[in-house]
Chain A
Amino acid sequence: MKLEFEQNIAPADIFDELDFNGFLSSFDLGIPLLPRKILRPMTKEEGTSHFRRLYDLQAKVDHGELEIKKLIEQTRRLPLLDPLMMFFKDQGLEQYHLYDLGRFVFENDALAGMETNYPLAPEISECCAGIRAILEEYTENGFSGLIYTKEEQEISSQVEELGQTIQTGLYEYENEIYALTGIKMIYPYPREISAQSENISKMLNCKLLSVERRENTCRVDFCLQPKLERIIDEKDMLSEKFAVMMQEKLETINRKLQPLFKDFAAYYEERKVRVFYYALLWFKVLYSLTFPVFRDDFGCRLKNARLPCLEKQVKKYIPLNIVLNRGSNVLFGANMTGKTTVLKTLYFHLTAIRMGLPVPAGSAVLHFPEQVELHLKTSGNVRTNLSSFGDEILFFSKNISSYAYVLADELFQSTDPVSGTELSEIFLAEFSDKDMVFFCTSHYPDVLKFDTISLFRMKDPDFEGQDIQVEDLLNMMPYTLERISHDKINDALGQTRKALCMALNFRLPESIKTKILSALKSYKERN
């Protein structure tokens, strides 16, 4: 099953960076019935109903009413019928279509036998038994061949006998030619004989042969006699009659099947949907994923949420644990502590849930993400003639609906700190009152004092004064966030010179490092 997102669900660069394709490709469970599926974003109602269906299915599996592994194995045996449905509708099924149709109803019977506690479309499922009965009447060997009537069998035998007679006739012909001319007229024809051959005059005089002279060679072919030609004509005539009879048989089968088409088409679509749900559930089991649980109020709680592309490439991966409240939420913290990764992990999970997929997390309790928007820092775009600031303002000019999640990295860092702080406060105040989640990172200390927002801080290690390499510093990072209450904001802000400390761990010129140390010293003296 090749899963794809509808176009433009996520910006191309972030889609590639978060390796959505890699995640979607793991859904390929080798089920012919689902060769490809394009996922579209769901509304709250669609999403709620979609996941409710998955919970129900999960409950049946948990209570032993369905065996998901066996169901998946059986669904792999169902052939894809999409290409033949149009022929079924128009009574134009060919012999090879009957084979696939027969295999489908046969294997579907076995699948339905495993679903007695969860029957599929019982009001129309009888059509499958009807189709099977018709196909078993007219086909044999597992629907692979057509059953001949006595008359058809006789004609087929006659055609075969005439074929034998022609072969014998040709063999005698070859012998006669050999006796008359000394040439062996066996496949391939025409034979090419040297013009200097001693038998050439015999060939030219032989009525059983036609001879065409060409430079140094003669091309010698059969000159069939009327008796053999009559047998060939008779065989062709009988073959034609047999073909007409087969055509009539196909027409009869099509006529009998047609009344079952409407129910079967509906049943087949239901079957595909059901198989898709089995695949989602099996995928969840296979990769230890979770189905989200939706809450009536607004907010989001993710436990042990993983970003698969990052998990694959780092030795020590710390899953994300986060609780976001309705309105505005701000994350701050030192550089390199993983703030942007938090936003990307959230974006990955919210997008996957919006498309109806299980996610790599321990649990996810949230309001349904009807809209998910992410803004990452850009350096502007000369093609659209937008600066990084213009790009950010354009992002916020989008229509933001209820149930949205809006994620922004380094809010209004694209302009001067005074304007950036003011704009940040304006937008945070605006979103604080909405039925949605707004979550941004910020380095502006004044923004954090705004009391209607929820505050989070990325933890960082205490390395001040230690001479450590950047790689070691990254290994020391806890990559964990903590909730900060407003009464402790000043303590948290006291660590704002972390960027200077971190810079000291890079291979900078000594003169620069001396100046950084001096700046840190005067900061400490002031505080």
Chain B
Amino acid sequence: MKTFSFIGSDKNAGKTTVFNFVFRKLLEDPGQDARVCLTSIGINGEEVDTYEGHAKPFIYLYKNSYFVTACEHLKELTGKYEICFSFNDFNKLYIFGKCLTDFQVVLEGPNSGQELLRLKKVVANILPKSYLLIDGSIDRQFLAHPDISDDFYFALLISDRREQIQKAQDLLYSLTFPVCAENQRQFLANTGHQDTKSILYDKKNQILYHGSEIPGFDEDLKDICMKYKNAKTSLYLNGAFSKSLFAFFAPFKNLTIILDNFTLYQNMSVSENPGPRFSPEIFLLHPVRVNKIFLKQDAGKTVFPGLPKNIPVINLFRENPYEIGI
């Protein structure tokens, strides 16, 4: 089973459209006979945007495709699906079902990494040759763990608003970080555990600090980093690398930062102020596996600075979808 996760730079970045598009492409591809199962992190597929009040693209399922959603979204769909499995020991009842006909649905899957892993195990057991599509969210960092997602599809909004452009560029910047060296990867794999949020270590791999608090709130981490500010050290982070952390670490010339995955980079500008010059080098523990970037251009711009060179960039609304592979 392959798992594709979908994330968007903003609300209305066209994530659900991309989700629907990839789903249709997988179903229509005559070369593949795999099953497709859809779910979502939290709730998606509602008809109306809760915040902005306008209509949202809905999620339409086709006969013989599969889904995992919370039971309350199936009340009006009696007889149109059959049940493959019920997750009745999660924090709410989720149904893994098969569509007996086409229908529109609200998808709402589990919202934690542990439950998602369990869901994957069940789906892979029942549908070993399949694709699992997860309508995700950039603030769910567990999605980027290699045990959860094999590949990502990234929906990127480009508007005329300078703040939005800066935010989009910051997001794209996180896709350009190189992967850390293999010996570092091995060291971190052997040292970290499920609760690890940060590890500070020196060039001889001596651990100076091992934290399980969210890095942004971990004052002990900041204290120990200050203590070793002039030494050659590396800091592994498995929690949001926020604007305030970015500002804190900006002057650390001898520090190397290793983020667990690209979704942790959340130094998103909300203004045109570029912020302090950042001295440490940033690496990723888990490589970026973004398969494609799908643009939604509210502006007339055709050229956008900062797009990664090694990831295909597509505007679904402007290019011929027949020619777009997945």
A interface residue numbers (CB < 8 A to B): 32, 35, 79-80, 83, 94-96, 99-100, 141, 143-146, 148, 152, 156, 159-160, 163, 184, 186-188, 190-194, 215-217, 242-243, 245-247, 249-250
B304 sits at the interface (CB 8 A): no
Q: List 12 A-B contacts (CB under 8 A).
A: A94-B74, A95-B79, A145-B82, A146-B79, A184-B320, A184-B322, A187-B20, A191-B317, A192-B315, A194-B318, A217-B300, A246-B78
B291 CB, nearest partner CB in chain A, Å: 18
Residue interface bits B72-111, CB-to-A below 8 A is 1, else 0: 0011101111111010110001010100111000000000
Contact among B80, B95, B297 with A96 in the assembled complex (CB-CB below 8 Å): B95
Q: Is the CB of A188 within 8 A of B88?
A: no
Q: Is the CB of A188 within 8 A of B79?
A: no
Q: Is the CB of A148 within 8 A of B79?
A: yes
Q: Is the CB of A100 within 8 A of B86?
A: yes
CA separation between A83 and B100, bound complex, in Å? 26
A516 CB, nearest partner CB in chain B, Å: 42
CA separation between A193 and B317, bound complex, in Å? 8
Q: Is the CB of A192 within 8 A of B93?
A: no
Residues of B within 8 A of A250 (CB): 78
Q: Is the CB of A188 within 8 A of B17?
A: yes
Residues of B within 8 A of A242 (CB): 79
B232 sits at the interface (CB 8 A): no
CA separation between A163 and B14, bound complex, in Å? 26
Residues of A within 8 A of B317 (CB): 188, 190-192
Contact among B88, B102, B316, B318 with A83 in the assembled complex (CB-CB below 8 Å): B88
Residues of B within 8 A of A190 (CB): 317
Q: Is the CB of A152 within 8 A of B75?
A: no
Knowing A94-B71, A146-B78, A192-B318, the reply to whether A156 touches B20 (Cβ < 8 A) is no
Q: Is the CB of B322 within 8 A of A94?
A: no
Closest to B299 in A: A215
B21 sits at the interface (CB 8 A): yes
CA separation between A159 and B320, bound complex, in Å? 31
Top-6 shortest CB links A-B: A145-B82, A216-B300, A246-B79, A246-B78, A192-B317, A144-B82
A336 CB, nearest partner CB in chain B, Å: 33
Knowing A80-B89, A159-B101, A187-B20, the reply to whether A192 touches B297 (Cβ < 8 A) is yes
CA separation between A146 and B80, bound complex, in Å? 9
Residues of B within 8 A of A146 (CB): 78-79
Residues of A within 8 A of B86 (CB): 79, 96, 99-100
Q: Which of B20, B57, B78, B100 has the most CB of A within 10 A?
A: B78
Q: Is the CB of A32 within 8 A of B78?
A: no
Residues of B within 8 A of A99 (CB): 83, 86
Closest to B24 in A: A187
B77 CB, nearest partner CB in chain A, Å: 8
Q: Which of A80, A99, A186 has the most CB of B within 10 A?
A: A99
Closest to A220 in B: B317
B321 sits at the interface (CB 8 A): yes
Residue interface bits B283-326, CB-to-A below 8 A is 1, else 0: 00000000000000101100000000000000111101110000
Taking A146-B78, A187-B321, A188-B17 as known contacts, 14 extra A-B pairs with beta carbons closer than 8 A to each other, sorted by chain A number, are A32-B89, A79-B86, A144-B82, A156-B79, A156-B101, A184-B320, A186-B321, A187-B20, A187-B24, A191-B317, A192-B318, A215-B299, A243-B78, A246-B79
CA separation between A83 and B91, bound complex, in Å? 11
B66 CB, nearest partner CB in chain A, Å: 12
Residues of B within 8 A of A152 (CB): 79
Knowing A32-B89, A95-B74, the reply to whether A145 touches B21 (Cβ < 8 A) is no
Residues of A within 8 A of B81 (CB): 95, 145
Which residues of B from 30 to 62 have beta carbons under 8 Å from A?
57
CA separation between A5 and B300, bound complex, in Å? 64
Closest to B72 in A: A94
CA separation between A261 and B297, bound complex, in Å? 58
Knowing A79-B86, A144-B84, the reply to whether A96 touches B74 (Cβ < 8 A) is yes
Q: Is the CB of A249 within 8 A of B79?
A: yes
Knowing A96-B71, A188-B20, the reply to whether A160 touches B63 (Cβ < 8 A) is yes
CA separation between A186 and B316, bound complex, in Å? 10
